[in-house]
Structure 1
């Protein structure tokens, strides 16, 4: 590694923290082994940097047959560790006083995993892993190989052995006869989880998300513009902070570690939530879904398109109100969407709804100015009239602030 070059500002580092500051101050060593999935690591490195991390890459000789070190130098902003020199990089980063916060081996071949389990240190990556294990520095492994190799009982036994030693395994995804490398957003989320403060550790969180749809007939529906992005970001943030998370929605987050229940209508969402709360002990309920206020008296056959139609609507059951009445010990977070109001009126209406339903926290926003179906929002997180936080920006940042406020509520209730 060229020490003088590392002191300079590499162009790649201009993207640092542009998506999130969740990994600011964290130093991550990415170990790349000889899987064809190594081509994915360019974007993974850059995504970790977008979340604020400082990324350093080490490679095996076999990995260099797949991707050139110059490419990963560009991706990380630092020269790649191809072999150990006088700086004894495995100690510098992963020794007892090592600088690194995490060793992330991605992709990891079966050969590398088996060697780490056997304590063998004959490559840069296996040496880094065994050093980290001896220093209690977290290690995460992202397997990638053919499915037949992944199903090898010796490998599976070694994976379980390494899990018992505290190593986190991310993926793989079994598709097309291969144990494929996990998606980048999945890997980043698990990195966040490993390095977070775990303010929701031991808690179980139920979240509703996105729009519901109400059928008019077997073909047509009524719905709204909600994208489900806020609910998805809340699910990821709660998982990141150590909670067991279940999402009720008609979307698809598809992240290992987050459970999902698929529903479409307001009635299905209501029944799914009540059923979950009856079956399992949840600590927090976040109602982030834009649930239909009205249900259509639907036709069982297609309505003719050449005549005027009058739709009869009936009010849907109020989920938050019923949840709070049935499960009063549950911490409940709700949302209040209005259109084109002055800020004071928006907050007054949100507080009125919070008091009426006895929610612990409510998030208010004026969707007349944006936020519904968009990647950003402008919200007021309200715990009380004297405790209101205004947050404007990406929905990931808003989710971080909501979960931070939830951690305060848990501390106030002396849950921890």
Structure 2
């Protein structure tokens, strides 16, 4: 019943695939660390789920550092909003692989026991399940184990290995977990490729971080009735706030006047003017990430009239004195409590080529870590948009047109990749 060793033809990739890697108790758990890397090298994202036994061999911190996501092992964790990690983790994935799979785990899986989160999500899955056994040769050869393996195979669970060789106990025989490269190649051949435009889940990617976001327009008063503003709808900022919250962040959203509902779990601070927004942002610091999405008015009236300016009055609109508003993005980038990651948005006019030429200079001037540009005419008040991401090293990454909620999820992945590692509090 052992899965044949994949041939040496070029390995298929796992781009866009999201896999759950289950790790059970056994010395072979150290090989799962390499497996995370091998799967990521093939383009997959990986959520690690550990049993209590596995924690005696490899720490959760190790897997968090390798996968970029907090390990989940508790059925009663509050990191999953609806309290059903066994459902959500299975539904998010394209497949589950348990490596190493101990004799104890295989026996419980065979008989539908669910005293661990990993067992529960294997039972609740509607995606393929692979197991890579690892145990002493006598445990593997025992008729009880062989009966369990036969029954699991009849139920469609796919076996990878085991391998022949020297074991941790000093004996030689069948029962070693196969190497990580073998498992990765097997999954690459057998996992069904997801749609190319699907975004992997963001769960846990910003866990424990404070993300501060500005969104919407600002309004600068001319008199008690008139204001100068812009056409920003706030959709992109609110989508980012929602995505960051889904990724496990504590999100503060400083918002200009918009007609959008505050995303669930997000703390919203309502402001109107650029100066109000600057004050609210500074009060919300420190933060791990700042994302300046708001379309802040560049200018304001120096002395707004306390009464409506009438056409017949001596003072007309052409007589107003204008002063420049604070540059909130540049201010955060140079702040004493500067976040680890400062990201700005730039709405421009012209062509895509104009945008590409403008972004590097603007990024340097703002002293930000990332600048995300778009053509305002195409994106404002639209549910879909395309963006150009400018990195400090000169790289530019284009996000092809898609709905803004999906674009926000992509951006969260980009930001999470740039953040320094932070151990999740236990």
Question: TM-score w.r.t. structure 2 length?
Answer: 0.51
Aligned to 1:244: 250
User: In the alignment, what sits opposite 2:369?
Assistant: 360
- Which structure has more relative contact order (CA 8 Å, sep 6+)? It is 2
What residue is the counterpart of 2:90 in the other structure?
101
Question: What's the CA shift string for 1:74-129, capped at 9, x where partnerless?
Answer: xxxxxxxxxxxxxxxxxxxx9x9x998269xxxxxxxxxxxxxxxxxxxxxxxxxx
- Mapping of 1:290-369 within 5 angstroms? 290-296=295-301, 297-306=303-312, 308-310=316-318, 311-326=320-335, 327-343=337-353, 345-368=354-377
Q: Secondary structure at the match of 2:350?
A: coil
Q: Which has the larger radius of gyration?
A: 2
Judged with a 3 Å threshold, the aligned counterparts in structure 2 of structure 1 residues 229 and 331 are, in CA distance, closer, same or farther, namely: same
TM-aligned CA distance change 1:243 to 1:134, over 3 Å: closer
Residue pair 2:211, 2:244 contacting (<8 A) in 1 also: yes
Return the match for 2:215 from 209, 216, 240: 209
Deviation digits for residues 16-75 of structure 1 (CA, Å, limit 9, x no counterpart): xxxxxx99999xxxxxxxxxxxxxxxxxxxxxxxxxxxxxxxxxxxxxxxxxxxxxxxxx
Alignment of 1:19-168 (within 5 A): 101=90, 135-137=119-121
Secondary structure of the corresponding residue to residue 231 of structure 1: helix
Q: Residue 218 of structure 1: which of 224, 234, 253 is its match?
A: 224
Query: 2: distance between equivalents of 1:232 and 1:101?
Result: 27
Q: 1:222 to 1:237 in 2, by over 3 A?
A: same
1:101, 1:23 → 2: CA distance? Answer: 13
Deviation at 1:384, TM superposition (A): 3.3
| Residue 285 of structure 1: how far off its partner (Å) | 0.3
Residue among 254, 259, 274 paired with 1:266:
274
Matched residue SS, 1:350: helix
1:382 is displaced (CA, Å) by 1.4
* CA separation of 1:236 and 1:309: change in aligned 2, threshold 3 A: same
Aligned CA distance change for structure 1 residues 133 and 347 (closer, same or farther; 3 Å): closer
Query: Which string of whole-angstrom CA distances, capped at 9 and with x for unpartnered residues, describes residues 360-398 of structure 1?
Result: 110011224x11121122210112354321113211222
Aligned to 1:231: 237
CA gap of 1:23–1:132, structure 2 versus 1, over 3 A, is farther
Aligned partners of 1:102, 1:342: CA distance in 2, in Å? Answer: 38
1:223: Cα distance to partner?
Answer: 0.7
Residue matched to 2:291: 286
In structure 1, stretches of 5+ residues that fail to align are: 1-21, 27-93, 104-129, 139-194
Other structure's SS at 1:384 match = coil
Shift in Å, 1:288: 0.1
Measure, in 1, the Cα distance between the counterparts of 2:202 and 2:350. 37
Q: TM-score, normalised by structure 1?
A: 0.52
Shift of 1:341: 3.5
Distance 2:237 2:88 in 1: 35
* 1:257 matched to 2:265: yes
Structure 1 partner of 2:379: 371
Preserved contact between residue 237 and residue 400 of structure 1 (Cα < 8 Å): yes
SS at match of 2:296: coil
SS at match of 2:317: coil
Quote the offset at 1:353 in angstroms.
1.5
Q: Distance in 1 between matches of 2:17 and 2:224?
A: 47
Partner Cα distance (2:17, 2:294) in 1: 28
Question: Over aligned residues, Cα RMSD in angstroms?
Answer: 3.6
Q: Secondary structure at the match of 1:328?
A: coil
State how many pairs are aligned: 242
Partner residue, 2:416:
407
3-state DSSP of counterpart to 1:206: strand
Q: Is the 8 A contact 1:350 1:362 kept in 2?
A: yes
CA distance in 1, matches of 2:275, 2:399: 32
